[in-house]
Amino acid sequence: MDASRFDAVARSIARAPSRRQLLALVIAGMAPLLQVGAGEARKRRKTKKACGPCAKRKNGKCKPDAEGTPCADGKICRSGRCECQQACPSDRECLANGSCARLCPASFDCGPGCGCGLASVEGPQFCIVSEGGCEFFTQGCESNAECPIGQHCMTTFCLTAPFNRCISLCPG
């Protein structure tokens, strides 16, 4: 390299950069970081909300399953919702096993042969058949879904395990 060219290179290195040049360098240095952030944002936008138990995604949209499609223990799809096999009357609650259980009324009068049980393991008190005892109801459970249709899971005062048992609901 000749002396005049060396002097020109040395002068350009020694000269302080302008504010515009500094800003350009900062932006150029941050560009890769900005691109990663934009890519992650695009990925997040593409995440789709899951469809319910009675719907499947088709062409990017949730479409309801056919009426009567099984959706949970003892339940079926009805109008895009997971419900009891038979429609429960307004004073009853649909349980996970497909039973319609009558909520215990404020008067505690569940009708002949029935009474208010203890609270279900899942919360409310239901009308249960008042005949039978620990020797009659022997199936243990942890949730209503584990009991046969027509029964619900209730904590009992039985002295032997299991302490949660499937108890018959009042019919009708």
* DSSP output for 5-52: HHHHHHHHHHSPPPHHHHHHHHHHHHHHHHHHHHHHHHHHHHPPPPP-
Per-residue pLDDT, averaged over 141-146, amounts to 87
Residue 26 has a pLDDT of 55
For the record, the structure tokens of 4 come out as 């005049």
Residue 10 has a pLDDT of 57
For the record, the structure tokens of 61 come out as 């949209």
Compare 40 and 8 and report the one with higher pLDDT.
8
Task: Collect all residues with Cβ–Cβ distance below 8 Å to 32 and sequence separation of at least 6.
Answer: none
Per-residue pLDDT, averaged over 52-78, amounts to 79
User: What sign does the dihedral 36-37-42-43 (CA atoms) show?
Assistant: positive
pLDDT in tens, 100-124: 889 888 888 888 889 888 888 888 8
Q: Cα(111)–Cα(128) distance, rounded to whole angstroms?
A: 10
Nearest in space to 113 (alpha carbons), one of 93, 133, 127, 125 = 127
Q: What percent of the chain has pLDDT over 90?
A: 2
Q: Cα(79)–Cα(72) distance, rounded to whole angstroms?
A: 15
Residue 7 has a pLDDT of 67
For the record, the structure tokens of 19 come out as 């504010």
- pTM of the full structure: 0.52
3-state secondary structure of 40: helix
Q: Cα(45)–Cα(134) distance, rounded to whole angstroms?
A: 56
